[in-house]
Amino acid sequence: MGCISTSRRRRQQNVKALVEGDQNVKCMHHIGGAYYVNVTSGFHCVDLRMFYQSYDAKDDTSIKPTKRGVALRLNEWSSLCTLIDTINASHPTLASAQPCYYDDDHMNQHGWLNCVECHPFLINLGQ
């Protein structure tokens, strides 16, 4: 299982298709560190979960889910999405948070590859 990153519009289409049940959907989006958001046909939920890579992994892309996470029903997910503005107003530090790729150390490939938020399962190249 690898990381499948899609645009926001495509993720919205996948959730809509999941609700309507008209096609198979498998969407996995990396949100930082070892955390991913998953939407899969057959499970009417949005799964926010931490993943890990075992030491005996045969390849670099085999990651597995942990028990640490939450699966939100689609109506719970919609409620959470409508609360984002309220959460940002209550916690200004969250509203002003910037992704790590805006940092100066991401201005070259070496810095980007060494970022544990962007690449949680890769060996640090600086060692």
Q: Which domains does the chain have, with CATH numbers?
A: 8-94 (2.30.31.10), 97-127 (no CATH)
Quick one: average pLDDT of 3-22?
57
Report the alpha-carbon distance of residue 122 to residue 1 in Å, rounded.
15
- Structure tokens of 122? 């890769």
- Taking only the tens place, the pLDDT of each residue in 14-73 is 566 555 655 666 788 888 888 999 888 778 889 999 998 887 766 656 788 899 999 999
Is pLDDT of 77 > 80? Answer: yes
What pTM does this model have? 0.69
Least confident of 6-10, 26-30, 110-114: 6-10
> 């670099």: which residue's tokens?
60
pLDDT category at 111 given cuts 50, 70, 90 is confident
> What would the DSSP string read from start to end of 19-32?
HHT-S--EEEEEEE
Q: Which residues contact 1 (CB under 8 A, 6 or more apart)?
A: 28, 61, 62, 63, 64
